[in-house]
Amino acid sequence: MLVSGRGTNLLALLAASAQTSYPAEVVAVASNRPSCPALAAAVQRGVAARAFPAGQFGRDPVRRDQEMRDWLRSQGASLLVLAGYDRIVTEPLLTSFAGRILNLHNSLLPAFAGTMNAVPEALEHGVKVTGCTVHLVDSGAADGGPIVMQAAVPVLDEDTEETLLARIHEQEWRILPAALALLAEGRLRVEGRRVRVLEAAP
Please identify every residue annotated as catalytic.
Answer: 105
Written in H, E and C, the secondary structure of 18-84 is: CCCCCCCCCCEEEECCCCCHHHHHHHHCCCEEEECCHHHHCCCHHHHHHHHHHHHHHCCCCCEEEEC
Cis amide prior to 34 (ω within 30 degrees) = no
CB 45 within 8 A of CB 149: no
CB 72 within 8 A of CB 84: no
> Quick one: DSSP state of residue 198?
P
CA 114 vs. chain centroid, Å, equals 14
Angle at 171 between CA 159 and CA 48, to 5 degrees: 120
C-alpha closest to that of 53 among 30, 72, 73: 30
